[in-house]
Amino acid sequence: MSKRVHNFSAGPCTLPLSVLEEGQQEFVEYHDSGMSLIEMSHRGKHFMAVHEEAIALVRSVYRVPDEFDVLFLQGGATLQFAMVPMNLLGDGRKGGYVNSGTWAQGAMADAAHYGKTYTAWDGASCNFSRMPSQGEISVEPDSRYVHITSNETIGGIRFSEWPELNVPLVADMSSDYMSRPIPWDRFDLVYGGAQKNLGPAGMALVIIRKTVARENNKGIGKYLRYDIQADKDSMFNTPPVFPIYMLGKVLKWMEAQGGVEAMAREADDKAGMIYTAIDKSDGYYGSPVDAGSRSVMNVVFTLPNETLEKTFLTQADQAGLLNLKGHRSVGGCRASIYNAMPREGVTALADFMNAFRAGNPQ
Ligand SMILES: *Cc1c(COP(=O)(O)O)cnc(C)c1O
C-alpha cells in the first residue's frame, strides 16, 4: 500500500486509520450476511442495529440530554441554513445572526428567504479577526433564536466562550463538532456536516430540542420538517446508510480516546504547537486572528511574501504535509487539525515550519 500522508484538508478530511481499516474489512461482506451494508435494506436488522447504535453513541459521547432528538439528515450543513429558518421562523418571530465570516453569511442569506432576520453582531469592521464577546451581541425583541457559527472554518476563529443570551442559541458546529463539551441548556438546535470531525460527507447531524421539533412550521415539504424526521427516527426516507455507519465507528474511536474532554485537550495541545511555531517566529509567520478567538481546528497563518508561501507549500507537499493552502477567498495557509489528526502530523508540521524558516530567511 502507498504511504498515507499527513492530510491537513479542511473537509472532507483525515479520519482515524483504524476506522478506515475496519470499514475496509467489513465492506464486501457485512457480518456474515453475504452482502455489503450498502447493499441491504435500511429497514433490515443489520442496518437498524447500526442506526440505533450510532444514535446511542451520539448521545453518550456528546452527552446529549434526553430533551433532545438526534437526527441524521442529508444535504449537509448547507441544507440546515434553510431548514432552520423554515421550521423555526414560521411564526413571524426573528432570527438574529452573528456575522462571523463566510459560513455565517451563508446561513444568514438563506434565512432571509424564509423569515425576518437581523445581524446581531457584525465582524466585517474587524475583518472577521475575532468572535464577539457576549456583551457585543445585540438581541432584538421578538427574537426566536440567535444563530452562531461556533468555528469559522475559513477565517480560523472560534467562540472560545459560549454566549449566554436571553434567547436560545442555534449553532452551526460543522467544523468543531464534538471537539469540546457544550452547555446544552443554552441551545435549541445544533447542526453540522459530518465530513469534518465525524465521518464521510453525505449528511448533517442535527440535535434539536424535542419541544422545538414539535412546534415547528408544518407548512413545508415533509422531508424538511424536523417533527416528521424526529417521529420517524431519521427513517422517513432512505437515510445516508454509509455515513451513518462510518459515524458510528468514528464515535467509538472517540469514546476509546476518552470522549469529548480528551478531544478538547488534544485539540488545545495540537493547535498550541502550531501557534507556538507562529508566535516564536519573530514575525516570520503571521496569524491574522485575535489570540482570544484562535481556532483550535483550523489554524490560519501567513508567510512573509507570496514567493515564500509558494515555496513553503511545494516543499510541505514533498515532505508529506498536504493541503495546507488557505481558502481561495482569504489566501495564506491553513492547517486543519480536526479530532482525527494525529499528534505526529502536527509535530511534523511544527518541525517543518521551524526548519523552513531557518532555511529560507526573509
Ligand atoms: C464545511 C462547513 C459548512 C458546509 O457544510 P456542507 O456539509 O458542505 O454543507 C457549513 N458551515 C461550516 C462552519 C463549515 O465548516
Q: Is the CB of 100 under 6 A from ligand 1?
A: no
* pLDDT band, very low/low/confident/very high, at 122 (cuts 50, 70, 90): very high
The confidence score (pLDDT) of residue 339 equals 98
CATH number of 18-256: 3.40.640.10
DSSP string computed for 113-154: TTSEEEEEEEGGGGTT-SPPPGGGPPPPTTEEEEEEESEETT
Q: Is the CB of 121 under 6 A from ligand 1?
A: no
Ligand 1, atom 2: closest residue by C-alpha = 174
Cell 407548512, located at residue: 219
How many beta carbons lie within 10 A of that of residue 198, not counting itself?
Answer: 25
Helix (H) / strand (E) element for 308: namely helix 306-318
Query: Is 232 a residue of the active site?
Result: no
The confidence score (pLDDT) of residue 2 equals 65
Question: Residue 1: pLDDT above 70?
Answer: no
For residue 191, with 0-12 CB atoms within 10 Å meaning exposed, 13-18 middle and 19 or more buried, which class applies?
A: buried
The confidence score (pLDDT) of residue 170 equals 98
DSSP string computed for 62-97: HT--TTEEEEEESSHHHHHHHHHHHHHSTTS-EEEE
Question: Residue 152: pLDDT above 80?
Answer: yes
Query: Is 185 a residue of the active site?
Result: no
Q: Is the CB of 229 under 6 A from ligand 1?
A: no
In the numeric block, which cell numbers belong to residue 223?
A: 422531508
CATH number of 259-359: 3.90.1150.10
The confidence score (pLDDT) of residue 231 equals 97
Query: Is 103 a residue of the active site?
Result: yes
pTM of the model: 0.97
Q: For the chain, what percent of residues have pLDDT higher than 70? A: 99
Q: Mean pLDDT of all residues in the chain?
A: 97
Q: How far apart are the first and last CA of the chain?
A: 39
| Distance in Å, CA 172 to ligand 1 centroid | 8
Of 195, 188, 197, 194, nearest to 158 (Cα)?
A: 197
Helix (H) / strand (E) element for 157: namely strand 157-158
Sign of the torsion angle spanned by Cα atoms 172, 197, 67, 69: positive
Q: Is the CB of 153 under 6 A from ligand 1?
A: yes
Which amino acid makes up residue 260?
V
- pLDDT tens-digit map of 266-304: 999 999 999 999 999 999 999 999 999 999 999 999 999
The confidence score (pLDDT) of residue 332 equals 96
- pLDDT tens-digit map of 158-181: 999 999 999 999 999 999 999 999
Distance in angstroms (rounded) separating the CA atoms of residues 220 and 87: 8
Which amino acid makes up residue 194?
A
Q: Kindly list the domain boundaries of the chain, sorted by start residue.
A: 18-256, 259-359
Distance in angstroms (rounded) separating the CA atoms of residues 114 and 159: 27
The confidence score (pLDDT) of residue 202 equals 95
SS3 (DSSP) at 301: strand
Distance in angstroms (rounded) separating the CA atoms of residues 32 and 186: 45
